[in-house]
A and B are shown apart, each in its own frame.
Chain A
Amino acid sequence: GENVGLHLPTLSVQEGDNSIINCAYSNSASDYFIWYKQESGKGPQFIIDIRSNMDKRQGQRVTVLLNKTVKHLSLQIAATQPGDSAVYFCAENPEAGKLIFGQGTTLQVKP
């Protein structure tokens, strides 16, 4: 499944499928980006980060893609599991000390 932009805040996927969560950031001066996962009743949890001198970074089952030309960030989750159900936030760092969060996308994984 794919979430196009922030106008679709909920993404529903079947267990085992790949998920793609998109994020448009606003400040061209941002040079560091982070994806966070937030489960109910908990604080945001770090997933993966990327610097602006890269366009792709891979972790365990997750990949972040950065397109600076269009100021777009995406998080890909391979073989989505029920435990991946959460709200996902992208965050950009436009200046020292500032981390600006997007509105978040809810990922629902259907068994």
Chain B
Amino acid sequence: DAGVIQSPRHEVTEMGQEVTLRCKPISGHDYLFWYRQTMMRGLELLIYFNNNVPIDDSGMPEDRFSAKMPNASFSTLKIQPSEPRDSAVYFCASSLRLDRFLGSYNSPLHFGNGTRLTVT
């Protein structure tokens, strides 16, 4: 299995531009997560999907951020317009399933290698 695949690996853009980050989860996983990592705030959950449906987007910073999952094998995270404070590493992760009875994971998240975003 190729694991979670993210693109691009690096993105440098100017303030005000639109940025689109892409993710292909592990085949068969029905949960997909977007995280942001910064030195100041660590790893923060932005949003997650179950069977392509957004379940919890309470971590999305503001309306400039949006995420979609049009099918089971593809998701995007879009920032429009981008700002310097959005500079971070953005990770996508997928999971086989959550334990619906315990409400917790019965398999760990598998992360991609991230997209390093720099907004100047």
Stretch at the interface among A17-25, A40-48, A60-68: A40-48
CB contact list, B24-66 vs A, under 8 A: 31, 33, 42-43, 45, 48, 50, 55-56
Chain B residues with CB under 8 Å of A95's CB are 103
Query: Chain A interface residue count: which class?
Result: 20 to 34
The answer to whether B45 touches A98 (Cβ under 8 A) is yes
Query: Which of B48, B56, B108 is the most central at the interface, judged by chain A CB atoms within 10 Å of its CB?
Result: B108
CB contact list, A94-111 vs B, under 8 A: 95-104
Is the contact region of chain B dominated by helix, strand, or loop, or is it mixed? strand
CB contact list, B87-115 vs A, under 8 A: 91, 93, 98, 100, 102-105, 108-114
Query: Chain B interface residue count: which class?
Result: 20 to 34
The answer to whether A43 touches B113 (Cβ under 8 A) is yes
The answer to whether B114 touches A43 (Cβ under 8 A) is yes
Compute how far the CA of A99 lies from the CA of B56 in the bound complex, rounded to whole angstroms.
Answer: 12
Q: Tell yes or no: A93 within 8 A of B by CB.
A: yes
Chain B residues with CB under 8 Å of A89's CB are 43
Compute how far the CA of A97 lies from the CA of B4 in the bound complex, rounded to whole angstroms.
Answer: 18
Given contacts A36-B111, A44-B109, A96-B98, 8 further A-B contacts (CB under 8 A): A32-B102, A34-B109, A43-B91, A44-B111, A93-B104, A96-B100, A97-B55, A101-B43
* 20 examples of A-B residue contacts, CB within 8 angstroms: A32-B102, A32-B104, A34-B108, A43-B112, A43-B113, A43-B114, A45-B111, A46-B109, A51-B104, A96-B103, A96-B104, A97-B31, A97-B48, A97-B50, A98-B45, A98-B56, A99-B45, A99-B105, A101-B43, A102-B42
